[in-house]
Amino acid sequence: MENDFKTESSSSTFALQSSSETLFSIQLLDFKTSLLEALEELRMRREAEIQYEEQISKLIVEIQELKWQKENLQNQKETLAKQHKEAMAVFKKQLQMKMCALEEEKGKYQLATEIKEKEIEGLKETLKALQVSKYSLQKKVSEMEQKVQLHLLAKEDHQKQLNEIEKYYATITGQFGLVKENHEKLEQNVQEAIQLNKRLSALNKKQESEICSLKKELKEVTSDLIKSKVTCQYKMGEENINLTIKEQKFQELQERLNMELELNKKINEEITHIQEEKQGIIISFQHMQQLLQEQTQANTELEAELKGLRENNQTLERDNELQREKVKENEEKFLNLQNEHERALGTWRKHVEELTGEIHEIKNELSSLKETHIKLQEHYNELCDQKKFEEDKKLQNLPEVDTENSEMLMGKLQNSIIIQKCNSGEEIREESTGSFCLATEYREQEEKKEGPLTEEIIIEDTTSINKVADTLNNSTIHPDPKGQPSEERNAIAETFYDSSFPTEHMKTKSQRANLLQSDFQAMKIKDTDLTVSFTCEDDWQSLITNQINKIEKFLTSENDNQPKKRKAEEMLD
């Protein structure tokens, strides 16, 4: 017995030593692994710090570059702002100059437009009255047509709605039958679910009783294990076998417990699932009841609407008959208005033909005036050539002293050239009166009579008349569609104004006459030799004024008739 006890004690000490060595080796391994992990973490931290330092240096460089770019951009912005201010100042000055010029032109045009607007306003008022009457009739006709169309559309819509209501009623009755069948099936399912509930509750009670018995057995087994451990300190060899057997039994019991717990969980889950299904079925049943109530209410409302729609249909049919009678009356009125419109168009076309005939007559008169003007100009040129020839002959017989004076006079009087420029800038004509004045001055020196210097200057309006005729022949006489005066008409008016009121030319010539008086106070002119008959010129000016008045009357009549023409064209379109 003692030997056995010694062997057992030695084996226990060996087992303790081996267990302590294994624990020490495990601790060493844990220490080594922790050291390696710490070293790896340190290495990773160093690498991360190096990367962060590089990124920080790059960011600093980028920030400096961005600051430099910002400074450059600010400088550019300042320069651009200065340039913009300078450009805006120049642009404002140019705009002010243009605005002044435009305001001056505007003042000229406004004078012409105000006169014509007064004439146009009277025609516009008559036009408005006619347009109002026309539009009122058209609106009445269109409203009647729209009402008829709306009544027809409403009738069709009511018929469609009735058909749709009948279809809905048929579908609702079919759905009501299906709902009843589903309700019966739901009641059967509820009864089956109640029976399953009872069975599951009985199974739960049985399993709970089994679990209680197993727990009691576990308690007994644990108490036996504690007792066996106390007794097995002396009998390790024999009781190791019993312990293994008991441990196996214990494991089997634990497995049974786990299985039963899993079964309990599954059963509980099934019970909860069945309860959820029951609640869903009850909710769906309540929803179906609500739907049935709503459908019954909708059916009653639809029946009431059907009655109202039938009554409305009857009233609409009566209104349609009345409106058809009114449409017939409106059609008769419309036909009468069309006949009146055709008559007005015929009268307007006759008036247009008369106006075109008048235009052709005025053009023919202008062409005849051109021919007469050309003939008069040729006759005038011949007379001038004859006078120059006579003066040249007289100049050759004069002494040398008179030639020196004549040269001085020629040098001074060549600067007194009359230049007439038209507003359009097409023609520039120069007329010099030096030779004619030289002859008169030499005659004054011969006779040596005392008296003031008199000068008669004939101003010709031939260039302005030619331009007026050319513009009338080349340009269309019709005014602008907006009622404003066109540029061509303004040019014609300006030429007539310049020709009828030549104040500036007279002023310049009077100044030149004063200069001649200061230079040659001792010289005289024979009135008998230099008198120029103005009778031809007066007749010519009277003809021009008559033609101008005719042209202005024609243009005003064209302005007055232009809106009528536009109306007629719109009606034809």
Structure tokens at 453: 């210097």
pTM of the model: 0.21
Binning pLDDT at 50, 70 and 90, where does residue 547 land? low
Top mean pLDDT of 88-102, 114-128, 162-176, 391-405 is at: 88-102
pLDDT for 541:
62
110-139 pLDDT, tens digit per residue, is: 787 788 778 778 777 877 777 787 777 778
- Residue given tokens 């031939």 in the structure block: 462
Q: Assess whether pLDDT exceeds 50 at residue 450.
A: no
pLDDT digit string (tens) for 520-530? Answer: 444 444 444 44
Q: CA nearest 559: which of 116, 126, 125, 121?
A: 116
Q: What is the pLDDT of residue 182?
A: 74
Greater confidence, 222 or 526?
A: 222
Q: What's residue 106's pLDDT?
A: 78
Domain boundaries, the chain: 2-320, 345-572
The more confident residue out of 232 and 331 is 331
User: Is the pLDDT reported for residue 92 higher than 50?
Assistant: yes
Per-residue confidence at 451, pLDDT binned at 50, 70, 90? very low
pLDDT tens digits, 296-310: 787 778 888 888 888
Q: Quick: pLDDT tens for 135-170.
A: 777 787 778 788 778 877 877 877 787 777 777 777
- What distance in Å separates the CA atoms of residue 395 and residue 387, rounded to the nearest whole number? 12
Mean pLDDT of 362-372: 79
Q: What is the mean pLDDT of residues 529-537?
A: 44
The whole-number pLDDT of residue 455 equals 40
DSSP string, 401-444: HHHHHHHHHHHHHTT-EEEEE-TT---EEEEE-HHHHHHHHHHH
- Does the structure show a pLDDT above 80 at 104? yes
Highest mean pLDDT: which range of 64-68, 119-123, 525-529, 534-538: 64-68
pLDDT at 407: 55
**pLDDT of 278 over the 70 cut:** yes
Q: Are 544 and 465 in contact (CB under 8 A)?
A: yes
Average pLDDT, the chain: 70
Instruction: Give me the mean pLDDT over the 426-450 stretch.
Output: 44
CB-based burial label for 437 (10 Å; 0-12, 13-18, 19+): buried
Q: What is the pLDDT of residues 490-511, one digit of tens each?
A: 444 444 444 443 444 444 444 4
Q: Any idea of the CA torsion for 85, 90, 95, 98, to the nearest 10 degrees?
A: 180
Cα–Cα dist 435/410, whole Å: 8
pLDDT at 532 over 60: no
Q: Which of 531, 508, 519, 503 shows the shortest CA–CA distance to 416?
A: 508
Q: What is the model's pLDDT at position 126?
A: 75
Q: Rounded CA gap, 159 and 155, in Å?
A: 6
Q: What was the pLDDT predicted at 167?
A: 79
